[in-house]
Amino acid sequence: MVAPLRIGLAGVGTVGAAVMRLIESQRALLKARTGRGIEVVAVCARKARKKRDVDISRVRFLADPLALATDRGIDVFVELMGGEGDPARAAVAAALAAGRPVVTANKALIARHGTALAATAETNGVALNFEAAVGGAIPIVKTLREGMAGSSYARVYGILNGTCNYILTRMQEEGLSFADCLKDAQRLGYAEANPAFDVDGHDTAQKLAILASIAFGTRVNPDAVYVEGISSIAPQDLDAAAQLGYRIKLLGVAVRTAKGIEQRVHPTMVPRESAIAQVMGVTNAVTIDAEGIERITLVGPGAGGAATAAAVVADIGDIARGLRVAPFGRPTAKLAASRKAPMQRHEGGYYIRLAAVDRPGTFAAIARHLAAQGISLESIVQHRAGERAHGGEDPRSPAAPAPVILITYATTEDAVRRALQAIQRQGVVAGRPQLIRIERD
Amino acid sequence: MVAPLRIGLAGVGTVGAAVMRLIESQRALLKARTGRGIEVVAVCARKARKKRDVDISRVRFLADPLALATDRGIDVFVELMGGEGDPARAAVAAALAAGRPVVTANKALIARHGTALAATAETNGVALNFEAAVGGAIPIVKTLREGMAGSSYARVYGILNGTCNYILTRMQEEGLSFADCLKDAQRLGYAEANPAFDVDGHDTAQKLAILASIAFGTRVNPDAVYVEGISSIAPQDLDAAAQLGYRIKLLGVAVRTAKGIEQRVHPTMVPRESAIAQVMGVTNAVTIDAEGIERITLVGPGAGGAATAAAVVADIGDIARGLRVAPFGRPTAKLAASRKAPMQRHEGGYYIRLAAVDRPGTFAAIARHLAAQGISLESIVQHRAGERAHGGEDPRSPAAPAPVILITYATTEDAVRRALQAIQRQGVVAGRPQLIRIERD
């Protein structure tokens, strides 16, 4: 008879309460599956007494996370307080240093201090599991870390932020503006009062940095991620994308290129038929391209108490079974430095939306500057009232001013930026050009 | 320095050769990820000398799989011979009994003898891994077995046979008949010369039985699966499905019902917007519904040398890391018997296509017999030349004979069968009614 695995839980908010309920309600199942009983024996929270979805009166209460982390009465420390700094960081580090395995859902902590914490885990021969930090209930960390151990990853990309995908879905389906959809998302609780962390892409960047580290064996570093949010996306971009056979998603993309590992977060045009394009609302999805395996896509709930708790409990289950895998899939000493790949050197197709000034020669000037940078066009769409030119080269009779949409063949970001600067300098376009990168299947 | 893990490989066909190449080409990566070198040291095949995609001259060759399975020079036995009986079965059993972990891609073996082999593995404290047996490179076994350890599964369903999905995709996209698509699939190597095992649903049933066992803790039993293939599907069914917002897929579905675990394989109408409906061609996909987690879907290549080899090598990697999980996710003694749920008691919506005889009162008779069984209709579609009645109740002026398509609300299979028998007895329909079950998200 193996003694039950004793859990110390720091943080009893929505996720913490869901974890406690799941462990309680699945007691028999967990024991059957992991061979060992699992019990929450102590918790730590800011307030001992507070209205909660779960009864914590039957477990020990500690006010100090650090004391819980090093408590001799627990076997596993589960960190659900959040925040990249202390007390989460200090508590996790202390637990690992004391030889206690750690499970955390804290993406900021892992993105910022993951490599150092992994090294501590390694030194002390204990697990550091963080499935819930990326993609909620989607087992993406396990899949990258264990499920494809013999595969060289070429690219990992996905929808990692439900708020952004919810907003883009509403914009696409209802033709609403970004601002209106954001307001709705806030009202429905899908977006924070301060939405910048989500809509500016930083949440996605932290999650991507974690996935990139596992996939490519680099030290996790969110500062190596190029980040662009979705606030500049207009309904007309979504319309144009649809007409051209694409959808616009905020993607996190980590890809091996000849110049190193590129990590980037930005609004992205994806082919409408791709699995990732089908993902609507708050759902998350990750696609893995590996050598010899064209594509594996995992789709599921990326947030929410129950989904996050499921991932946390699965991580606890692995510890109950005695599984221990290097946190980032290989020893920290073997992780390479993670450098920010310069976006000027990014290669791919581009969507460009210009407000062309209505006078003869405008289009010729645009075409000339693109050609000067060696940029070839796959499609040209020019809308006028009730009319649409598609694939034409140079409409000789410009009517009312209207946006011009261009889809380029693969080129470099540098070339596109230079061409657009030249076009803007010539005064043939009004306002700032819109630029959206295209990610092919 | 840990000694390398020595692999004995039985079967050097497409998959076996791909496994050897992958282990060779990913030598450094595998060592970094698993902490241990992995080497194929001995192989067994029907012929020692044969044109192969891989050089086997540098490893020991044994003619007898049983001798390889128990060879003292190997640490892991990898079975890629196929076939549910001997020599595969005897060799796997012998390896396990000799305390050697086993990796196999053999779905028939695991579906037929999985529980007995798992018991042998358990007794001898070794791993029996079979990720490659279901869904090719999709890590579905790992996800069900480890990735959601605390989750109660409600339903697991998926597209598990690429041949069938390829045929249905071509039929849908090009309006071709089943027979024509099958011929094409055979020409392109997507279907066997004898396609019955695939198109009649038996391949899907074996895979489903394995997933059901892990998800629901039952002893694996393909005979407990209700099986129907795709040969009766006509282009007009695919057209009607599209008009009604569905697609038709051959699904394997395992679901917990009040009456027990239902395991069934049949052509299925799935909502067009569902993740599973988007899966085209030879691609496989599995959706998991768990308590608290609405839905996780995994999509990827279900077959092919490279994809299957990736799963085999990941399984070997787990053994190199020292991971060992009960083959079906819990001890064999805890697995419940797997009984065939009677399909008469299946509850769900139905698509019914009838060739209604062209005379007054036909529709009234059909409606009456459905009503007598308590069946409510969600949609009625009746095609005439250039015209379509949708949602009407009883078109009073029947024109040229034409199919009538009915979509029922949830009812029981028993009720539907009784109603159709009564309708047929009354002579108001010609030929055999087409019946396709609907699977809701």
The answer to whether A281 faces chain B, any CB pair under 8 Å, is: no
Please report the pLDDT score of residue B383 as a whole number: 67
Which CATH fold would you assign to the domain A345-438? Alpha-Beta Plaits (3.30.70)
Minimum-distance CB partner of B275 among A35, A217, A299: A299
Q: Is B257 strand, coil or helix?
A: strand
Q: What is the pLDDT of residues B337-346, one digit of tens each?
A: 988 988 999 9
Of A374, A392, A373, whose CA–CA distance to A383 is shortest? A392
Catalytic residue numbers of A, as ranges: 207
- Cβ-Cβ contacts under 8 Å for B205 (sequence gap 6 or more): B111, B222, B225, B227, B252, B263, B265
- What residues does each domain of chain B span? 5-133, 140-300, 345-438
Identify which has the larger pLDDT, B358 or B378.
B378
Contact assignment for B26 to A150 by CB distance below 8 Å: yes
Six token digits for residue A411: 């080129």
- Kindly report the number of other CB atoms within 10 A of residue B240's CB atom: 23
Global pTM reads 0.93
- CATH homologous superfamily for B140-300? Dihydrodipicolinate Reductase; domain 2 (3.30.360.10)
Interface test with B, best of A22, A144, A293 (most B CBs within 10 A): A293
Q: Which residues in chain B have their CB less than 8 angstroms from residue A275's CB?
A: 275, 278-279, 299
Contact assignment for A142 to B147 by CB distance below 8 Å: yes
Per-residue model confidence as pLDDT tens for chain A (441 residues): 689 999 999 999 999 999 999 999 999 999 999 999 999 999 999 887 888 888 888 999 999 999 999 999 999 999 999 999 999 999 999 999 999 999 999 999 999 999 999 999 999 999 999 999 999 999 999 999 998 888 999 999 999 999 999 999 999 999 999 999 999 999 988 888 899 999 999 999 999 999 999 999 999 999 999 999 999 999 999 999 999 999 999 999 999 998 899 999 999 999 998 889 999 999 999 999 998 887 999 999 998 999 999 999 999 999 999 999 999 999 999 999 988 988 999 999 999 999 998 888 888 999 999 999 999 999 998 865 444 444 444 444 445 567 899 999 999 999 999 999 999 999 999 989 999 999 987
Largest CA distance in chain B: 86
Minimum-distance CB partner of A306 among B139, B292, B313: B292
Q: Is A376 strand, coil or helix?
A: coil
Task: Give the gap in angstroms from C-alpha A45 to the nearest C-alpha of chain B.
Answer: 23
* Touching B: A residues 9-28, CB under 8 Å: 18, 22-23, 26
Q: Which residues in chain B have their CB less than 8 angstroms from residue A301's CB?
A: 293-296
Please report the pLDDT score of residue B387 as a whole number: 44
Chain B nearest-CA residue for A131 = B147
The answer to whether B325 faces chain A, any CB pair under 8 Å, is: yes
Of A412, A260, A425, whose CA–CA distance to A435 is shortest? A412
Q: What is the pLDDT of residues B25-70, one digit of tens each?
A: 999 999 999 999 999 999 999 887 888 888 888 999 999 999 999 9
What is the second-level CATH architecture of the domain A143-301?
2-Layer Sandwich (3.30)
- d(Cα A178, Cα B375) in Å, to the nearest integer? 45
Distance of CA A426 to the CA centre of its chain: 38
Q: Which residues in chain B have their CB less than 8 angstroms from residue A35's CB?
A: 326, 331
- Cβ-Cβ contacts under 8 Å for B301 (sequence gap 6 or more): A293, A294, A295, A296, B136, B137, B138, B162, B282, B283, B284, B307
DSSP strand E in A178-310: where?
226-227, 246-257, 260-271, 283-290, 293-301
Task: Give the gap in angstroms from C-alpha A289 to the nearest C-alpha of chain B.
Answer: 10
- Cβ-Cβ contacts under 8 Å for A94 (sequence gap 6 or more): A66, A69, A70
Q: What is the pLDDT of residues A46-96, one digit of tens each?
A: 887 888 888 888 999 999 999 999 999 999 999 999 999 999 999 999 999
- Cβ-Cβ contacts under 8 Å for B317 (sequence gap 6 or more): A146, A149, A150, B30, B33, B34, B38
Does the model's ipTM exceed the 0.85 cut?
A: yes
The answer to whether A30 faces chain B, any CB pair under 8 Å, is: yes
Contact assignment for A318 to B137 by CB distance below 8 Å: no
One-letter amino acid at A354 equals L
The answer to whether B360 faces chain A, any CB pair under 8 Å, is: no
Please report the pLDDT score of residue A48 as a whole number: 79
Please report the pLDDT score of residue A396 as a whole number: 45
Which H or E run contains A418?
helix A413-425
DSSP letter, residue B40: E
Confidence of residue B374 (pLDDT cuts 50, 70, 90): very high
For B114-127, give one letter per residue: b (16+ CB within 10 A) or e.
bbebbbbbbeeebb
Asked if residue B329 has pLDDT above 80, the reply is yes
Residue with tokens 């990853």: A153
User: Could you say which of 3.30.10.20, 3.40.50.970, 3.40.1010.10, 3.40.50.720 is the CATH number of the domain covering A5-133?
Assistant: 3.40.50.720
Contact assignment for B137 to A150 by CB distance below 8 Å: no
* Touching A: B residues 98-137, CB under 8 Å: 131, 137
DSSP strand E in B102-211: where?
102-104, 128-129, 153-159
Residue with tokens 């394989």: B265
- d(Cα A284, Cα B423) in Å, to the nearest integer? 47
Please report the pLDDT score of residue A387 as a whole number: 44
Q: SS3 sequence, B43-109?
A: EECCCCCCCCCCCCCCCEEECCHHHHHCCCCCCEEEECCCCCCCCHHHHHHHHHHCCCCEEECCHHH
Please report the pLDDT score of residue B47 as a whole number: 84
Write phi, then psi, for A28 (nearest 5 degrees): -70, -45
- d(Cα B65, Cα B49) in Å, to the nearest integer? 16
Six token digits for residue B146: 């480890």
Of B353, B325, B301, whose CA–CA distance to A148 is shortest? B301
Asked if residue B434 has pLDDT above 50, the reply is yes
DSSP A113-167: HHHHHHHHHHHTT--EE-GGGSSTTS-HHHIIIIITTTPPEEEEEEE--HHHHHH
